[in-house]
Amino acid sequence: MNTAARFFVGLNLGVNACWAFVPPASMEIKTYHTLTDSSRKPFGSSFEKFQLEVSRSTLKSSSLAKKKLFGPSQLFAAVLDGTSSAVNEDDRSDSVNVVLVTGFESFNRDLYEQAGAIVPVECKLNLQVFADSDIRTTNEGINENFANAVKNADAFIGSLIFDYDDVVAISSMLPHVRGPRLIFESATELMAFNRVGTFNMQSSGDGPSGPPPAVKSILKKFSSGKEEDKISGYLKMLKMGPDLLKFVPGEKASDLRTWLEAYRYWNQGGMNNVKAMLQLITQKWLLENENGDLEKVSSLELPDLEITPDVGLLHPLLSNYAANPKSYVSWRLSSECKELAKQQKFKLAPNDAPRVAVLLYRKHVITNQRYIQDLIRYFELEGIVPIPVFINGVEAHTIVRDWLTSQREIDGVSKGVISRDSTYKPNEATSVDAIVSTIGFPLVGGPAGSMEAGRNVDVASQLLKSMDVPYVVASPLLLQSIPMWKSNGVLGLQSVVLYSLPELDGAIDTVVLGGLVGDKIALVPERVRKLCSRLKGWIDIRKTPPSERKVSIMIYGFPPNVGAVGTAALLDVPNSLENILKRLHREGYDVGDFATNQDACGESLVAALTIQCENSVIAAGADRMQCAIEQRMERARNGDKTVPETLARPGGGLGRATVRGVDMSFDELEKILGKFMTKKVRRAWSEKERGPGINAKGEMVVSGLQVGNVWITVQPLLGVEGDPMRLLFERDLTPHPQYCAAYEWMRLPQERGGVGTQAVIHLGMHGTVEWLPGQPLGNDRQSWSDELLGGLPNIYIYAANNPSESILAKRRGYGTIVSYNVPPYGRAGLYLELANLKDLVNEYRTVESANGRSDLKEAIFATCEKCGINSDVAVPFNLSELSTISIDVFDEWIANISNYLVELEERLFSSGLHTIGRETSDEELSSYLNAYFSNKLSEEEIKNAITAWHQKEKTNHSHSFLSWIQDFAHNFMGDVIDSKLDAADNSLLQEATNIIELLARSSSEEMDSVVNALDGGYVLPAPGGDLLRDGTSVLPTGRNIHALDPYRMPSAGAWARGERAANEIIRQHRESNNGAFPETCAVTLWGLDTIKTRGESIAIVLSLVGARPVKEGTGRTVCFELIPLNELGRPRIDVLASLSVIFRD
């Protein structure tokens, strides 16, 4: 037998991390590793390695063996002490094996290893630390090393474990753990495995579960009584619970105290507290199992808890944590701070710079994550005074509510239009210009609030509305490495944390600040600068007086050269544009003479912009455009019918708007776009193919109409004529040069010859900037939408019924969405040959004689063929059989034709176009209600409801709403209802009145939200959707709409509908194919349809295949499982799914 063992140690130069493993002679040499190097390879290039050969006899007699140090942690400590020893297998059998899973916090792996290394040797700790990436193998099996570690574990510790596959893997292993199981802040399925002695968190079982009644009564004392404060109250309980439980008798209370004590150490964090927690667990295990030197073990004293405040403020120049924002700001603006900055050569932002609250993870602060200090430094360098508040994560809303305010809120309180919560602390609070959360998740509850996403959205939105400042979520990725983000974008659960959940609260302008490099969090400085530029964009426009603000409005002209300039889905762009300009005038903006000129109109503006988009006009250059427009005005005055008639008005109906444009060379573009991005454009677009918008000299033409301080322009075409969608399908293609020039010149300051726009309004659904090449999610420096928008606030007026595409505008195009309502609904009706067919069918049914009916058969058949109905309604005969077909067969076909015509006639569609800033007429209200209630309310009842609502608006609201409803019902329904008002009818009446009010509010709040967004304010969030399908939750419009959490699709209702649809598909196929099941079915999956239906199409696919969703404890769908064939009761059906791009993303 070889009597020598090899001892490998790798030391990271400058970083406290190592690998160490001393194998027994009978074992193969392996490597234990705790890595900070991004390569994840032992002994990387930044490491120095050495090898020692030690005889086995030396190992046995070594001082390390005598000290009974066990495991890689102790070996690490011993190596640093200069000792060289090993642990044999006999010694390991007496150790306390503890497995610790870091979950989201792989960056703390080193800290936990080092904490384990300093646990007293008497505790015989053998600690093994695993990150989430160590749990499963690439083929989705459980990692053998992890499985063996848990099987042999005496104790288990886990934190922040949410990935469902990890949860399933760990759950299957936890029953093997012999002793304490401590799971903190993880998935509910895992939390149920918590156990210390007789205390556990199982909801059911043979033994006792949860805290004893006496303890439950204690827990209730730690909350403010507000629903949204329960979780933060729970954290207060954890802080004091162990001390209170000293006085609660019973073994279970004692064991609960141990669990709380362990969590208190864990929550406070830092190496010494983690060491104390590990000591607490191992001591308890050794004493209970009478293992080791019990006298020495029992004599060990637990270290005192090193307490960091639950919330506080920090700064690289501040030696201690500030207690509250007010004291922090006082210090930050003091001469003391300036002197410290001078001594340490630390650049501070000016004292009058914008102030931004930055919410940080407390645990990242107390574990000294370097990115925290770097983030603060970058803010200061970019001219922003950060107010960095660290929190546990669950109490973000209490910081906003109690510690932060804004000048807008202060003014509102002084005027009596805003009332603050009683918890507000004026002696500790400070005013800020914006809020940035690096936490993600919902504002209320943080990670715990995600358990019931959307539950406290109203609380969050009302707090943020009162503040009325931008609420931005920006964070480094904690679940993805920077290379993974660069190659694939933000994925999976990370996208939910950073985008889906915060958007429910109205978060905007999400920026990925960095990600993991190995096991460490790193910032990308350029992304921090991007965040700061966007924050300053919103803050600067608020601080600029309205009369001086420079705004651009961008309309669309797609497809090109077919009269589409000034169009958008479901929106009357010319009249909406006119109303926006007039409202801006009332708000104090400079819109020239447009708002006061009675001849000025939106139609003329659009007509003039259309002229600027003509190829012949572009070829002449920007300088000739004013002349071209004036020539058309002259032609209009001369009666030329090919020119829009509004141009014949005095001044062309332009309200003295004039052309403002530029002819830009490629060299000039490079100066403002930068060499890096310009090089990409030159490579993609040769001189022979520069794309659209180029004049005869080869220059890029950018033009629009200047109306006071408002510049109105047409968004450049996405691709080229004949191939307008080219950019969507060529991954490496860049926007064409003129597209780049338009956005860059729009943003370029006036002193440098540009428009100097401070905010842009994209008017209508939808533009193209959000579709430009770049990251699918999580913009980086090379994403073109990120480059062209820069720090420009983007107010995006978007149709409320399209949340699927609006999330691209929000996430890739930094759009603050302001939704507009869909137009009123109308019935399709029948026309031309369809109306004629209906008359023929009705005549056939009324004719009694056989001869009369026979004469109509051929006419009906011929008309059906002309209308194409025979392809929709099966014909059980052909024309030659008409004379011989039986009456019953023909009558059945006639019945099917009649039903089909009724369906066509009653089909709903959007009638007309919506206009922003125009009140909803009574006729439109009636159309909405008719479509919504169908036959549940008559025309007369709807008319009376609208009339009554108008009357209510004129009253002083002296009666309660219910009494008003009853009075109204009595007035229009008479004595029939009087004292016997049917509950259902009363409910319908209230619903009708509610819808009328919401529709009326939409008319005003759409424009109000545009104005408030231009003022750098907060726009209330709401789900996107359609009144008929989604109900009143989508009203009023004028909201920052969001989509749904994709992890909650399909919903229960969508699953039921999809299952029925799948069964109907199967039934119809079997009826037509002698009982045979279909083998393959094709299903198209659309993003918009999926969001509208809450996942109906997904449910159809799953049902056909014979699968069903699997939900975890929070109700999220995490995977799908096949239904066993004996349960399914039929063959599985293959599905060919065609995915739209939006659905895929």
pTM score = 0.83
Q: How far is CA 917 from the centre of its chain?
A: 29
Length of the chain, in residues: 1145
| pLDDT of residue 467 exceeding 70 | yes
Pairing status of strand 520-523 against strand 508-517: antiparallel
372 and 314 Cβ atoms separated by less than 8 Å: yes
pLDDT value of position 713 = 98
Q: Where does 742-792 show beta strands of DSSP type E? A: 759-763
Tell me the torsion sign for CA atoms 624, 630, 634, 636: positive
pLDDT value of position 883 = 73
pLDDT value of position 331 = 97
pLDDT value of position 8 = 29
Mean pLDDT of 42-67: 31
Quote the DSSP letter at residue 70.
-
| pLDDT of residue 84 exceeding 60 | no
pLDDT value of position 374 = 97
Better-predicted residue by pLDDT, 1065 or 28: 1065
Mean pLDDT of 1016-1027: 92
Instruction: Give the three-class secondary structure for 55.
Output: strand
| pLDDT of residue 226 exceeding 50 | yes
pLDDT value of position 87 = 37
pLDDT value of position 251 = 66
| pLDDT of residue 663 exceeding 60 | yes
pLDDT value of position 65 = 34
pLDDT value of position 905 = 85
Quote the DSSP letter at residue 824.
P
Percentage above 70 pLDDT, the chain: 81
Mean pLDDT of 326-334: 97
- Which tens digit of pLDDT belongs to each residue from 715-760? 998 866 666 566 566 666 889 999 999 999 999 999 999 999 999 9
DSSP string, 447-479: HHHGGGTTTTHHHHHHHHHHHTS-EEEEEEEEE
Here the tokens at position 189 are 């399925």
- Which tens digit of pLDDT belongs to each residue from 485-500? 999 999 888 998 999 9
- Which tens digit of pLDDT belongs to each residue from 845-893? 888 776 667 778 888 888 888 888 888 888 888 777 777 788 888 888 8
Residue closest to 1138 by CA, chosen among 1089, 1092, 1073: 1089
Q: Where are the alpha helices (DSSP H) in 456-547?
A: 457-467, 482-488, 492-495, 501-504, 525-543
Report angle CA 848, 854, 859 to the nearest 5 degrees: 115
Q: Is 624 left (phi over 0), alpha (psi -120 to 50) or beta?
A: alpha
Residue closest to 768 by CA, chosen among 749, 788, 754, 793: 788
pLDDT value of position 886 = 82
Mean per-residue pLDDT of the chain: 83
Mean pLDDT of 805-824: 94
pLDDT value of position 870 = 81
203: confidence class by pLDDT, cuts 50, 70, 90: low
Report angle CA 305, 308, 309 to the nearest 5 degrees: 125
| pLDDT of residue 1109 exceeding 60 | yes
1098 and 1120 Cβ atoms separated by less than 8 Å: no
pLDDT value of position 731 = 60
199 Cβ partners below 8 Å, 6+ apart?
211, 252, 255, 256, 258, 259
Here the tokens at position 1082 are 């094709």
237 and 218 Cβ atoms separated by less than 8 Å: yes
User: What's at 491, amino acid-wise?
Assistant: L
139: confidence class by pLDDT, cuts 50, 70, 90: low
228: confidence class by pLDDT, cuts 50, 70, 90: low
pLDDT value of position 605 = 97
Percentage above 90 pLDDT, the chain: 53
pLDDT value of position 745 = 98
Q: Where are the alpha helices (DSSP H) in 22-163?
A: 56-61, 63-66, 71-81, 89-92, 109-117, 144-151
Quote the DSSP letter at residue 500.
I
917 and 583 Cβ atoms separated by less than 8 Å: yes
Better-predicted residue by pLDDT, 213 or 1039: 1039
pLDDT value of position 58 = 32
539: confidence class by pLDDT, cuts 50, 70, 90: very high
Residue closest to 351 by CA, chosen among 313, 387, 385, 388: 385
- Which tens digit of pLDDT belongs to each residue from 626-644? 999 999 999 999 999 999 9
Mean pLDDT of 1040-1057: 81
